[in-house]
Structure 1
Amino acid sequence: MYLYLLGLVVLYYLYRWVRELPRVPDKGSRYVYVTGCDSGFGNLLARHLDKQGFRVIAACFTEKGEEDLKKACSGNLITTHLDVTSKDSVDKVAAMIKDRVGTRGDVLG
């Protein structure tokens, strides 16, 4: 009985150890672009990825959303204004990302 319980405890800790292994190598050099970061899922995702150590480019619709996100996150997070209904705004953000990321902008699949 005790051997069975000990085996379960060992398996549990082994499972936790494997689960917490880093899945993305060198997170500090990876950029992640997230839209809709004023509130909701986009905001939570940007904060989570920033805490995980990624460089986050967060697109917000309002200046208040940008300010709140900057206050809550590290210096690795960059905010930008994006209005998805404006082609000029989308082109401007795309150019900024291309300049900032450069050749390090690969896609993880």
Structure 2
Amino acid sequence: MWLYLAALLGLYFLRRWYRERQTVENLREKSVLITGCDSGFGSLLARQLDARGLQVLAACLTPQGAEQLRKATSARLQTVILDVTRTDSIAAATAWVKGQDAWVLFPSLG
């Protein structure tokens, strides 16, 4: 029984070591699109990724939320107003994002 426990523990640490060694190359050149950045999880994630050096494309519902986020972050973070209930807002944000070459999308509800 102790042998099985030791083997499982060894596999756990081997897997953990392997996962920690995996990295994404050129992380600072990647763009991340996050929706719902006015408050909550979206805002927190945008600030954290900006602090780590990623190019952040933050979609906010209100101009006030976008301005607050811009003031609290670096020039790497760019904002756009996005109201998912309005088709024209979605079209404008889509056109803006296409020119930014987003690497990953984090949909957040704010």
Match of 1:94 in 2: 94
Match of 2:12 in 1: none
Match of 2:78 in 1: 78
Deviations 1:16-61 (A, max 9, x none): xx85x67221112100000000000000000001011110000001
TM score, norm. by length of structure 2: 0.71
Change (3 A) 1:72 1:62: same
CA RMSD of aligned residues (A): 2.3
Q: Which has the higher helix share?
A: 1
Change (3 A) 1:106 1:87: same
Measured in 1, the distance between the counterparts of 2:82 and 2:42 equals 13
Give the share of equivalent positions with the same residue, in percent.
45
Q: Which amino acid aligns with 1:62?
A: T
Relative contact order (C-alpha < 8 Å, sep 6+): which is higher? 2
Q: Which runs of 5+ in 2 are unaligned?
A: 1-15, 106-110
Match of 1:10 in 2: none
Change (3 A) 1:106 1:49: closer
Measured in 1, the distance between the counterparts of 2:34 and 2:103 equals 15
Q: Which amino acid aligns with 2:52?
A: Q
Measured in 1, the distance between the counterparts of 2:48 and 2:73 equals 9
Q: Which runs of 5+ in 1 are unaligned?
A: 1-14
Measured in 2, the distance between the counterparts of 1:106 and 1:66 equals 21
TM score, norm. by length of structure 1: 0.72
